[in-house]
Amino acid sequence: MREINQVKRNAALARWGNRSHISRFYDYVQLDLNRGCWLWLGSLNRHGYGQFHDSFRDQNNVHAFRWAYEYFNGEISPGLALDHLCRVRSCVNPNHLEIVTNAENNRRGFSISAQNMRKVECKHGHFRWGSSGRDGNRRCLDCHSINESKRQRRLAEVRIKAALGVCHAKD
């Protein structure tokens, strides 16, 4: 493994010369004076986040914002994520990043699940939210109770018809 890493380092030095990682990093940064963002001009992944080639890591391409945060602030503990406080995916300003749990990062986002998580009432106007059921999904407890009552009535009707011998066959 050491030999492979040494080969990677030698290849990086041949490609980039004696330039430091931070000097290469700043080549791809443009300041947005209105928002204070450091906009990444280098390669973006399909989600719009900057990518940075770091030959001294086991994983060559890293998120540029993550690399910047770790360079200026130190390592991020496993299981934690960085949240862009400015909501600009291509921003790599470490002051615009906050360490949060993955769950908190998802809650702060704009995905459908994040939007549903922030809802305080259901489409019928009920306010009782909770987890009911084996899947643990969040749902309106009032609507769930109403639907469960309807389901129980239908099951009772089917049992009564079966006991009376009523057939569902068409004539």
Write the pLDDT tens digit of every residue in 59-102: 678 899 999 999 999 999 999 999 999 999 999 999 999 999 98
What burial class does residue 113 get, using C-beta atoms within 10 Å of its C-beta: 0-12 exposed, 13-18 middle, 19+ buried?
exposed
Sequence-separated (6 or more) residues with CB below 8 Å from residue 142:
122, 124, 126, 128
10 Å Cβ neighbour count for 123? Answer: 8
The backbone torsions φ and ψ at residue 41, rounded to the nearest 5 degrees and listed phi first, read: -100, -5
pLDDT bucket at 4, cuts 50 / 70 / 90: low
Rounded Cα–Cα distance for residues 129 and 169 (Å): 41
Where is 145: in which H helix or E strand?
Answer: helix 141-164
Of 99, 97, 59, residue with least CA distance to 78: 99
Rounded Cα–Cα distance for residues 81 and 85 (Å): 12
Write the pLDDT tens digit of every residue in 135-165: 667 778 888 889 899 999 999 998 888 888 7
Per-residue model confidence (pLDDT) at position 7: 58
**Residue 89 tokens, joined:** 């995916």
Per-residue model confidence (pLDDT) at position 18: 55
Residues in the chain: 171
State mean pLDDT over 2-18.
Answer: 54
Say which residue, 60 or 15, is predicted with more confidence: 60
Per-residue model confidence (pLDDT) at position 171: 46
10 Å Cβ neighbour count for 158? Answer: 12
Classify residue 93 by its DSSP letter: -
Write the pLDDT tens digit of every residue in 37-56: 999 999 999 999 999 987 66
Bridge-based pairing state of the strands 80-84 and 138-140: unpaired
Write the pLDDT tens digit of every residue in 95-121: 999 999 988 888 888 888 777 777 777
Strand partners, 91: 39
pLDDT bucket at 3, cuts 50 / 70 / 90: low
Rounded Cα–Cα distance for residues 23 and 155 (Å): 70
